[in-house]
Amino acid sequence: MYRTEHDSMGEVLVPADRLWGAQTQRSHENFPIGVGIETMPAEIIHAFGILKKAAARANNALVPGRMTEEKLAAISEACDEVIGGKLSEEFPLVVWQTGSGTQSNMNANEVIANRANQIAGKKLCHPNDDINMSQSSNDTFPTAMHIAAVLSVTDTLIPAVEKLVDTFRKIEEENPDVVKSGRTHLQDATPIRFAQEVSGWRTSLEKDLSLLRLAVGPLLELALGGTAVGTGLNAPKGFDEKVASEIALLTGKPFVTAKNKFHALTSKDELVFAHGAIKACACDMMKIANDVRWLASGPRLGLGEITIPANEPGSSIMPGKVNPTQCEQVTMVAVQIMGNDTAVGLAASQGNFELNVFMPVLIYNFLQSARLLAQSVRAFTENCAVGIRVNEEKMHNNLHGSLMLVTALNPYIGYENAAKVAHKAYEENTSLREACVKLGFLTEERFDEVFHPEKMV
């Protein structure tokens, strides 16, 4: 069953049970690319609900003759349903559409207008004249991008990383005196406390949190109010500041209007910068996950210095095999984010004159990165990191079998003689103590006086 809708190009048949209108339907038919799979991210739809409600409030305050209390009430209720995800099936459009996101803006306008009319019980609101009042797709889509990016980073990604930081801190506190062999270049190195090793992971993530918080700042500036090309045509004076303050109230985030709308419409440097912070965190997670799976390798023929939870069988042919699957998902997610960073950068470089027309693909990749990393870190924390346990016996044996403990002898016999000791011990498969005494560099008693691996940390 269909109903007839019309736009400036003529009439269009729209499914009768849908709230969208003619322009949404045209886009749905003209861009059969990734349908049902690569639709506009839910975070963007959520952001559109926020900004359309904020715009209605601002218009009501500035031009109450046009945005009446009756319209505001109906629009606000419809927007709340969009924000709450109740109308998610009404947003079918794909990422691969116009580069300005115009069709998604009109999708929001049409759905909110038709739902507002249902709420009012009459034809009260028009998609362009009321829902899109004082706006253009050219300033609403960049605004939705910033809202979605800020909420994704602050409300989802940062809390996930903070939880892993707390988990690592707890591991440090539980293992203050465990000493193990350090490793550089995948080769034996001088001793290190396990807590010190974990503190390196924790501090890396704390630095990433600082970068993420820093990156959010520029995203708090909104393009809304610039309308078509940044001049603010058809928007009442003060609309930009008022709508930004309304968005701040609705989100609880300190959004402000962008000082220069010409920049806000065409440049996407803030998103590139913020995605760089996401990528930095992904890089650290890649390193941490690799460290964990190396340390847990075995269980008998690897390093085996820690154990991690066994979550599922690891092989369809080898009975009893268990794999570090959480570490593997982290590294795969990191690879995806590194690839996304290239797409984000290339998309941001394609602004021409007064508008960037690669915005949907840019925000699609950005939000995927933030979403994947948050979910990945959360899964790694809950299904792996909290279950890390130290194998002290293995660490002790590896530590005392390390030839690099010879470094402790440098102050007593010199670098070159210490190197001779290490080589002799390795070639003859003996201890450092035996090699040093055979070479005549120290007596057994003197060696025991100066050689204490646990004090080398």
**DSSP annotation string for 360-373:** HHHHHHHHHHHHHH
Residue 233 has pLDDT above 90, yes or no: yes
Task: Say how many residues make up the chain.
Answer: 457
315 is catalytic: yes
pLDDT value of position 421: 96
**Percent of the chain at pLDDT above 70?**
100
What is the rounded average pLDDT of the residues 419-423? 97
**Percent of the chain at pLDDT above 90?**
97
Amino acid at the residue 112: I
pLDDT confidence tier of residue 252, bands split at 50, 70 and 90: very high
Residue 383 has pLDDT above 90, yes or no: yes
What is the rounded average pLDDT of the residues 366-377? 98
Residue among 8, 76, 136, 185 flagged as catalytic: 185
Residue 122 has pLDDT above 90, yes or no: yes
Residue 419 has pLDDT above 90, yes or no: yes
Q: What is the mean pLDDT of the chain?
A: 97
Q: What angle do CA 137, 158, 258 make, to 5 degrees?
A: 35
Task: Render pLDDT for 299-337 as a digit per residue (tens, 0 to 9).
Answer: 999 999 999 999 989 888 999 899 999 999 999 999 999
What is the rounded average pLDDT of the residues 5-15? 94
Distance CA 90, CA 113 (A): 12
Task: State the sign of the Cα–Cα–Cα–Cα dihedral 263, 264, 266, 272.
Answer: positive
Distance CA 180, CA 363 (A): 44
What is the rounded average pLDDT of the residues 27-41? 96
What is the rounded average pLDDT of the residues 121-127? 98
Give counts: helices (H), strands (E), the chain: 17, 10
Q: Which domains are seen in the chain, by residue range?
A: 18-133 (1.10.275.10), 152-174+190-220+262-391 (1.20.200.10), 401-455 (1.10.40.30)
Distance CA 363, CA 142 (A): 9
Range in 10-14, 36-40, 323-327, 351-355 with the lowest mean pLDDT: 351-355
pLDDT confidence tier of residue 342, bands split at 50, 70 and 90: very high
Select from 226, 259, 238 the least CA-distant residue to 356: 226
76 is catalytic: no
What is the rounded average pLDDT of the residues 20-46? 97
N-term to C-term CA, the chain: 76
Amino acid at the residue 349: S
Distance CA 401, CA 380 (A): 32
- The answer to whether residues 404 and 415 touch, using CB atoms and an 8 Å cutoff, is no
Burial of 189 (C-beta count, 10 Å sphere; 0-12/13-18/19+): middle
Residue listed under structure tokens 């950005």: 366
pLDDT value of position 289: 98
* 389: three-class secondary structure by DSSP: strand
pLDDT value of position 351: 80
Q: What are phi and psi of 120, to 5 degrees?
A: -75, -20
Residue among 315, 349, 423, 452 flagged as catalytic: 315
pLDDT confidence tier of residue 191, bands split at 50, 70 and 90: very high
Residue 454 has pLDDT above 90, yes or no: no
What is the rounded average pLDDT of the residues 160-174? 98
What is the rounded average pLDDT of the residues 373-384? 98
What is the rounded average pLDDT of the residues 355-367? 98
Task: Render pLDDT for 265-312 as a digit per residue (tens, 0 to 9).
Answer: 999 999 999 999 999 999 999 999 999 999 999 999 999 999 999 998
